[in-house]
Structure 1
Amino acid sequence: MPSAPGPAPYRPETPISPLAEWLADEVAPAAFPETILRFRNDRWAQAVGLDQLSEKDWLGHFGKFQPLAENLATPLALRYHGHQFRVYNPDLGDGRGFLFAQMRDGEGRLLDLGTKGSGQTPWSRAGDGRLTLKGGVREILATEMLEALGVNTSKTLSIVETGEELVRGDEPSPTRSAVMTRLSHGHIRIGTFQRLLTLEDSENMKALVDYCLTEFPGPPPPSEAPGSEQPAVQLMHLVVERLADLAASWMVAGFVHGVLNTDNMNISGESFDYGPWRFLPKWDPKFTAAYFDHGGLYAFGRQPEALHWNCGQLAIALRLIADAPPLIAAMERFGPLYMAAVGKRWCWRLGVESRGAEEDGRLVGACEAKLSASGDQPDAFFHRHRGGRNAEGELGEILSRYRAVEVENDHPYWSESTAESMLIEEVEAIWSAIDQRDDWQPLHDKVDHIRRMGDAHGPAPEPAGNG
């Protein structure tokens, strides 16, 4: 999804409805004691024609979940399975969220409005179906920072405080509660396909493939790819391209998602569902975000491996309706696509023009060596060397062969002494202001600063599979 979208009219459309009988369960939203608007993302609301809603109507739709006009009459909790830390779990599904609405943006793309913290569903298991306010604040910060750094991410559209006190084992309790609405280009997961494989439901698997190809279209597979006439193979190529680029975008952003289970992998290639995320304080492939990831399965440096493994699980599921060799051939593209995407995105962050995969690879290697040796925080590193400046030794020699991107009236952000970052200390300070003094200004200021940084970077490069 591009940044800084243009305004568009509200265009409701619900193509998921014909699939809902076997894909989802109708659910009712929770009734909350209060609905207090805390965050409203009008920059993205305008992209789907919702920016003109009054505060009363906004709270009616995104605090009480009164249906949007000509949209889903009843929310849908999606069904899926998934590998959680490589252990298969068939007892999954939307346990504290649902699909609330679907609509088109100004380019005709389908966008979903989904929730987090909207109450219990048939898939809640022992959970209360709620979201802490701190969790909502962290989601704002994650999505805003990632969007600014060119990552294909869901957008936090709304946070409404709900007036309940929640007990959690991993933060001081009782704590304040909230309900979040996110804007995403789809909510179909790898785990959605895994569920249909377990049920041996080939007919609905075909229908789901068709839905994904229609609503999340992309370039055709390479002309030499075997089986490219098969819809399942076409989808496999698209997902491999998207997840290779997603892995690259996280690495170049210095971002650690924390929980890369197959139920957290969106077929559209969007990053979403931010729990124990972190940004790197220094370049460390072993850095983990989740305190419960004892073996470092989803450590920073293992994220590409994790997404490749998850692509493999999609290939296994698609074996229900396609032959193995073409799916394997699609899988084999992941590594080269990932490396090409890292090089292109690395050059983008440095503000230099790509010189091709081989030379970009040497540049990335030199930068990683410098980062590891210096202990620099990655955001500060990219800022200091913007356009190839301030580089010495081997890094300086390599960067001297690169041409700085020509940007007319280059953004003043690049002349400032410090770079924007999103380290855990700042996240905690922003939350502390809200928690202790109900002071939301530091959050709003940070969002403004992040968006300014995003404007300075400009649009990220297209995924390597797109040309």
Structure 2
Amino acid sequence: MPVSPQAYRPAAPLLALGPNFWDAVAPAAFPETRLRFRNDRAAAEIGLETLGDDEWIKHFGRFEPMPGTLPQPLALRYHGHQFRSYNPDIGDGRGFTFAQAYDRDGRLMDLGTKGSGQTPYSRFGDGRLTLKGGVREILATEMLAALNVPTSRTLSLIETGEALDRGDEPSPTRSAVLVRLSHGHIRIGTFQRLAYFREEADMRRLVAYVLRHLYGVQGDDPVRLLNLVVERSATLAARYMAAGFVHGVLNSDNINITGESFDYGPWRFAPTWDPGFTAAYFDHQGLYAFGRQPEAIGWDVSQLASSLRLIADSEPLIAALDRFGGLFQPALTEAILWRLGVRPRDDRSDRDLARATERALRATQAPLDRFFFDVFGGVLPAGYADGWEELRGALDGYQRRTPRDHVVRAGAPCAMMIDEVETIWAAIAEHDDWSMLEGKIAQIRALGEALA
């Protein structure tokens, strides 16, 4: 296998957790394996960019084991609150963890799948993924990475030659299997399952696993873990807001214990700073609307705290949980200043600038991507008049953190609105034309490099 000998560092600590945490499964046998997308930039982080296409398909389409890591795929067990209703009958239903490896920064990474076949948790599902769903996940992960949101990366998308029937899109439709690269696939729901069955020994084992392998901390202190998760989750919520991103389904089984965003279904980017904007057509109550995402993520983290009561006293867990709001506000300030392209000055001025930005965007309903493009570097153009006076004053004295020319060279903002997503998919669905997707990925990556 032509891996990078200096960069490929396989691992398998998941096995040490024991069989109460997963079920060994077999991947589906697909009629076809047509490589549609390979993310060599992400693959290089774990030494896999040197794989030829045939080797790539062998491992990421037929799932032959990678050397030195998991000998077979593992479907993880978990529970979760779905739209605030507890569901003990879920788990990896159309995916599994296929391999583990350390990246160049020494972080343990999981290679997980979506659409790889049925598992014991598939219930009545077919275990498959639509090709459109895979394309949408590529676009979501690429755009979020460019906008400084901690996210899984889409490593691979392979078309599998099956016709799928779906009730919420034209059917039959094309099928695919996706591989994502994530900093762990342990969810809040993983802890909820252990609390549900009151499995204290396994709860301590899981706490120690996450602390050691995902946070680099020795021991099995549940309070220490909750504090770390609160910090990471508050940052994630803040960066969702600054990016204008709406995940759509922030259930506790969709919240990674490392604070990394993943699992993209009905996502959207909000056109304006509209707190009520929703991504999922079935979110009738707006539970996961744009403006309610910090609340939703905080609520999910509170379910982790409740689960950890199995092995810890309530008082220190409550104290850790109470930090969320105080951590979210400065994280949002930092994220908004990053998108404005200005260097921080002092806490009070920075906070005032972030609040002035949010108030102006809410009052004017200006297009988010256009606004951050126009104002990047702290320059508010003359066309921004009524409703922008407070922000103009707040920007006074701020310095650019990167040359404005790097961001505005394209002459237009790089956005990811639903209409463009549908246009990109239509070209693929109707003409098997992947050029629009490839061009959009290049545009997004150029934006990310300019903003970095």
Confirm or deny a common fold (TM above 0.5). yes
The match for 2:122 is: 124
Cα distance change, pair 350–8 in 1 and its aligned pair in 2 (3 A):
farther
Cα distance change, pair 412–404 in 1 and its aligned pair in 2 (3 A):
closer
Counterpart CA distance in 2 for 1:218 and 1:110 is 10
The match for 1:463 is: none
Give SS of 2:142's match: helix
Give SS of 1:439's match: coil
1:82-141 superposed Cα distances (whole Å, 9 cap, x missing partner)? 000000000010000000000111222110000000000000000000000000000000
Q: After TM superposition, give the deviation of residue 312 of structure 1 in Å.
A: 0.6
Counterpart CA distance in 2 for 1:18 and 1:366 is 50
Q: Does 1:453 align with 2:447?
A: yes
User: Is the CA contact (8 Å cut-off) linking 2:46 and 2:102 kept in structure 1?
Assistant: yes
Counterpart CA distance in 2 for 1:120 and 1:187 is 18
The match for 1:461 is: none
Q: After TM superposition, give the deviation of residue 25 of structure 1 in Å.
A: 0.2
User: Is the CA contact (8 Å cut-off) linking 1:8 and 1:106 kept in structure 2?
Assistant: no
The match for 1:269 is: 259
Return structure 1 stretches of 4+ with deviation > 6 angstroms.
none
Counterpart pick for 1:133 among 131, 134, 146: 131
Counterpart CA distance in 2 for 1:230 and 1:212 is 9
The match for 1:396 is: 392
Counterpart amino acid of 1:243? S
Q: After TM superposition, give the deviation of residue 373 of structure 1 in Å.
A: 3.0
Structure 2 gaps, min length 5: 382-387
The match for 2:242 is: 252
Counterpart CA distance in 2 for 1:191 and 1:94 is 11
Cα distance change, pair 44–209 in 1 and its aligned pair in 2 (3 A):
same
Counterpart CA distance in 2 for 1:107 and 1:365 is 35
The match for 2:83 is: 85
Counterpart CA distance in 1 for 2:144 and 2:356 is 24
Counterpart amino acid of 2:87? N
The match for 1:384 is: 374
Counterpart CA distance in 2 for 1:57 and 1:178 is 18
Q: After TM superposition, give the deviation of residue 380 of structure 1 in Å.
A: 1.1
User: Is the CA contact (8 Å cut-off) linking 1:32 and 1:162 kept in structure 2?
Assistant: yes
The match for 2:61 is: 63
Q: Percent identity?
A: 59
| Residues matched between the structures, number | 443
User: Is the CA contact (8 Å cut-off) linking 1:258 and 1:299 kept in structure 2?
Assistant: yes
Counterpart amino acid of 1:208? L
Give SS of 2:113's match: strand
Q: Does 1:311 align with 2:301?
A: yes
The match for 1:412 is: 406
The match for 2:384 is: none
Where does 1:17-166 land on structure 2 (aligned, <5 Å)? 17-166=15-164
My pick for the range that moved more, 180-189 or 11-20, is: 11-20
Q: After TM superposition, give the deviation of residue 416 of structure 1 in Å.
A: 4.0
- In the superposition, the TM-score normalised over structure 2's length comes to 0.95
Counterpart CA distance in 1 for 2:62 and 2:225 is 36
Q: After TM superposition, give the deviation of residue 415 of structure 1 in Å.
A: 4.3
Counterpart pick for 1:431 among 425, 431, 435: 425
Counterpart amino acid of 2:325? G
My pick for the range that moved more, 327-336 or 33-42, is: 327-336
Counterpart amino acid of 1:182? R
Counterpart amino acid of 1:448? A
Q: After TM superposition, give the deviation of residue 403 of structure 1 in Å.
A: 2.3
User: Is the CA contact (8 Å cut-off) linking 1:352 and 1:404 kept in structure 2?
Assistant: yes
Cα distance change, pair 176–364 in 1 and its aligned pair in 2 (3 A):
same
The match for 2:385 is: none
Q: Does 1:367 align with 2:357?
A: yes
Counterpart CA distance in 1 for 2:438 and 2:154 is 13
Counterpart amino acid of 2:172? P
Counterpart CA distance in 1 for 2:14 and 2:362 is 47
Cα RMSD (Å) of the superposition? 1.6
Give SS of 1:83's match: strand
1:66-93 superposed Cα distances (whole Å, 9 cap, x missing partner)? 1111221110000000000000000010
Counterpart CA distance in 2 for 1:46 and 1:418 is 30
- In the superposition, the TM-score normalised over structure 1's length comes to 0.92
Structure 1 gaps, min length 5: 1-5, 221-228, 459-467
Cα distance change, pair 357–7 in 1 and its aligned pair in 2 (3 A):
farther
Counterpart amino acid of 1:161? E
User: Is the CA contact (8 Å cut-off) linking 2:211 and 2:220 kept in structure 1?
Assistant: no
Counterpart CA distance in 2 for 1:113 and 1:315 is 27
Give SS of 1:22's match: coil
Counterpart CA distance in 1 for 2:410 and 2:441 is 18
Cα distance change, pair 218–287 in 1 and its aligned pair in 2 (3 A):
farther
User: Is the CA contact (8 Å cut-off) linking 2:157 and 2:179 kept in structure 1?
Assistant: yes
